[in-house]
Chain A
Amino acid sequence: MSINWYKYASPASFYFLAGRMIPYFSIAAIVLLIVGLYIGFFVAPTDFQQGEAYRIIFIHVPAAWMSMFLYVVMAFWAGIGLAFNTRLSSMMATAIAPTGAMFTFIALWTGAWWGKPMWGTWWVWDARLTSELILFFLYIGFMSLQAAIDDPRRADKAGAIIALVGVVNIPIIYFSVQWWNTLHQGASVSIAQSPKMATAMLAGMLIMALAVWMYSIAMILMRARTIILERERHTAWVAELKGITR
């Protein structure tokens, strides 16, 4: 691909590019979400072991995937911003954090909903759920640190350090939680573990994963646009922008 990426690395051109892309991603997210939920809740066959309750995985699993993936993406952009001093990358990291935290929260919440009919308890100290909870703490730490710092450049850099430290630690944390779990012979929740997943189940899951992707991209672009406006409010191009929109 011979796109000149540097053209989009300036906050101003990114602002307009993002503005044009948001509607497409939003529409895609809504359509995929409706289709995915329909397949998940009405088309996919009832699980012979878990009954109807298993259908929560169509939300739980994509949310959990996305929450982990977004942390890595966030750390990546924050690291790029720290290393090359590119403001837009740092703004992207800041924009990603709330969406990532929301997905960890959804994954935890739906995990509890699923656990109740399965085991009769809302919370199980299972390795995956526990790791997800710790991931949630890591997101909260990143966001609180950035919120506590007034100077946006310092916030960007400090956030980058803690995101990178976090991303190095995530495998260690995950591994140690798993060790801890096997040692204590706790319950093992494997929500998505069906030996033969019906095609409709698989399709629903993939469509929901795609919907979650589209939603994340749309939300992150929207938030990035807001951050850009806030940070660049004294520049000439934002001043012009106001003139046009009024």
Chain B
Amino acid sequence: MLTWVIRRDLLLAVRRQADVLTTLFFFIIVVSLFPLGVGPEMNTLRIMAPGIVWVAALLASMLSLGRMFSNDYLDGTLEQILLSPTSLSLLVLGKMLSHWLITGVPLVLMAPVLGIQYDLPFSALVVLTLSLLLGTPILSLIGAIGAALTLGLRGGGVLVSLLVLPLYIPVLIFGAGAVEASTAGLGFEAHFSLLGAFLLVSLVFAPWATAASLRISME
């Protein structure tokens, strides 16, 4: 059942590549804007790189949240999902995973290239990519709650940022922190363990909270 949902969403993403590419290019543009804003001084940029890449990833992931449920909502598929005999939490988990595959994974793959723009050393690039690999699924999981709550509301897109961004803060701190710790020569294992713990906690709670939110929004 889970695979049906994921397969369908991936198929839709393949047929509508523009959506995927917009998010990715947003990510690239935001990251590339910072040197223009703060100046090309490489030492400054190297220090700021993990934070910039992570904040841009947060924003890119958040911007694509609107699409998670709204298309299904507009064409009536969401009603069918809600009325499926399969557990709604499971179906929602499928939607979250496909959201991550469609928006999160391209960000992870693009991150090392952007890191080079900021002259990050190789080891930092690896840690940055791994931290995004571990952190971006959390963004999709938590973001889904906000997307479900704001479904069909006026100005839902802006509202979702108010709801979701504060909840993203721990991921930002430990994601960017891991890279900084590794460049400073400190261990980043603790950061990764904590990110992993967040991932597990959100895997357990987010589908359930999102399912409840969808039922509320569809009433």
Contact = CB atoms under 8 A, between A and B. Distances in A.
Contacts of A175: 170
A3 interface: no
A177 B198 CA distance: 15
B170 A158 contact: no
A162 B163 contact: yes
Given A137-B166, A169-B167, A161 B216 contact: yes
A173 B194 CA distance: 12
A144 B159 contact: yes
Assign chain A's interface to a size class.
20 to 34
Given A165-B145, A177-B169, A177-B173, A158 B162 contact: no
A144 B162 contact: yes
B66 interface: no
Interface in B115-159: 142, 145-146, 149-150, 153-156, 159
A148 B173 contact: no
A182 to B, nearest CB: 11
B80 to A, nearest CB: 21
A181 to B, nearest CB: 10
A138 B145 contact: no
A160 to B, nearest CB: 9
A157 B216 CA distance: 7
A173 B168 CA distance: 9
A173 B213 contact: no
Contact of B162 (A140, A149, A157, A179): A140
Contact of A165 (B155, B156, B169, B209): B209
A121 interface: no
Contacts of B174: 176, 179
A180 interface: yes
A154 interface: yes
A176 B154 CA distance: 33
A154 B166 contact: no
Interface in B166-211: 166-167, 169-170, 173-174, 177, 180-181, 194, 198, 205, 209
Contacts of B217: 154, 158
A97 B80 CA distance: 35
A175 to B, nearest CB: 8
B59 interface: no
Contact of A148 (B146, B159, B205): B159
Contacts of A17: none
A18 interface: no
Contacts of A183: 177, 180-181
Contacts of B75: none
A200 interface: no
B169 A141 contact: no
Nearest to A134: B166
A172 interface: yes
Contacts of B165: 137
A176 B163 contact: no
A148 to B, nearest CB: 5
Interface string A71-84: 00000000000000
Interface in A129-155: 134, 137-138, 140-141, 144-145, 148-149, 151, 153-154
A139 B170 CA distance: 18
A166 B153 CA distance: 20
Interface string B87-129: 0000000000000000000000000000000000000000000
A168 interface: yes
A183 to B, nearest CB: 6
B219 interface: yes
Residue among B142, B156, B209 with the most chain A CB within 10 A? B209
A141 B162 contact: yes
Given A169-B170, A176-B174, A177-B169, 12 more contacts: A134-B166, A148-B154, A154-B219, A158-B149, A158-B217, A161-B149, A161-B209, A173-B167, A173-B169, A176-B170, A176-B194, A180-B177
Interface of A: 134, 137-138, 140-141, 144-145, 148-149, 151, 153-154, 157-158, 161-162, 164-166, 168-169, 172-173, 175-177, 179-180, 183
Q: What are the nearest 3 A-B pairs in CB distance? A: A176-B170, A137-B166, A157-B216
